Amino acid sequence: MKVNNDDEIAVDSRLVRFRKGGSLYFEGDEVRRSYQIVEGIVRTCRFHADGHRQVTGFHYPGDTVGLGQRNHFESAEAVTDLECRALAIQPDGKARSASAEDPSLADFLLQGALRNAHQSIFLFGRRTACERLAAFILMTARRLGCGLEVELPMGRTDIADYLGLTIHTVSRTFGMLCQDRLIALHGSQHCRILDLPGMRSLAGEVD
């Protein structure tokens, strides 16, 4: 099966690889296959008329991206070098895979996408840069299941476009969180959470 995508590197009939920065598919493309992430990180995003990019989500090993009814409503790109399992899409829009005897798979994945979207809306509802970034760090830590040592796999630009901020503000805000002893940075990617209650309260997770 010819796949209209230069970035895709076939390993065997099911496994494919993408280089960091490569595109899995583009917004508007016809839905042909979906990808279950085995290793690496994917970002999904939409581009606006003015060139502005909105990152709509980050996806981690185990997640599946690219499922939809007819055409993709967002693009998907490899944040890191990537390995994933390609799942063919049947005419009825459901993914066919080892686990696809479950007829409600599409439903389940749609629910996931919706939860994802609501998480974004939730983030935007938190108004200040501090609150958004704190929420983002906690969210990522939780998703990676790495306790208090978070290895942020994406760059500042990705974070900025996800949170609706500029890289400058993101960078400055990291600085402020460090100054306030809420986190500590070792390099720009490795973040240690020092004050979990403080972060949770900042992120609006207080109860």
58 binds DNA (CB under 7 A): no
168 binds its own copies (CB under 8 A): no
CB of 102 or CB of 149, closer to DNA: 149
Q: What is the DSSP letter of 28?
A: T
Cα–Cα dist 193/185, whole Å: 9
170 binds DNA (CB under 7 A): yes
Q: What tokens does 155 get?
A: 């760059």
**x/- site string to its own copies, residues 57 to 76, per CB under 8 A?**
------------x---xx--
Cα–Cα dist 53/43, whole Å: 12
Choosing from 121, 127, 145, 207, the residue that interacts with DNA (CB under 7 A) is 127
With CB under 5 to 8 Å by kind, the binding choice for 14 among DNA, its own copies, none is: none
Q: Residues 136, 162: contact at Cβ < 8 Å?
A: yes
12-20, 30-38, 105-113, 139-147 -> range binding its own copies (CB under 8 A): 105-113
Q: What tokens does 153 get?
A: 């796999």
151 binds its own copies (CB under 8 A): no
Q: How far is the CB of 126 from its own copies (least distance, A)?
A: 5
2 binds its own copies (CB under 8 A): no
Q: What residues contact residue 181 under an 8 Å CB cut-off, 6+ apart?
A: 194, 195
Alpha helices in the chain (DSSP H): 105-125, 129-144, 156-163, 167-179, 196-202
Number of residues that bind its own copies (CB under 8 A): 35
Residue that has been written with the tokens 């790109």 in this structure: 77
Q: What tokens does 97 get?
A: 């895979």
19 binds its own copies (CB under 8 A): no
With CB under 5 to 8 Å by kind, the binding choice for 98 among DNA, its own copies, none is: none
Cα–Cα dist 54/160, whole Å: 9
H and E: helices and strands count for the chain: 5, 13
Residues that bind DNA (CB under 7 A): 126-130, 155-157, 164-175, 185, 187-188
Residues that bind its own copies (CB under 8 A): 46, 48-50, 52, 54, 56, 69, 73-74, 92-93, 104, 106-107, 110-111, 113-115, 117-118, 120-122, 124-127, 164-165, 204-207
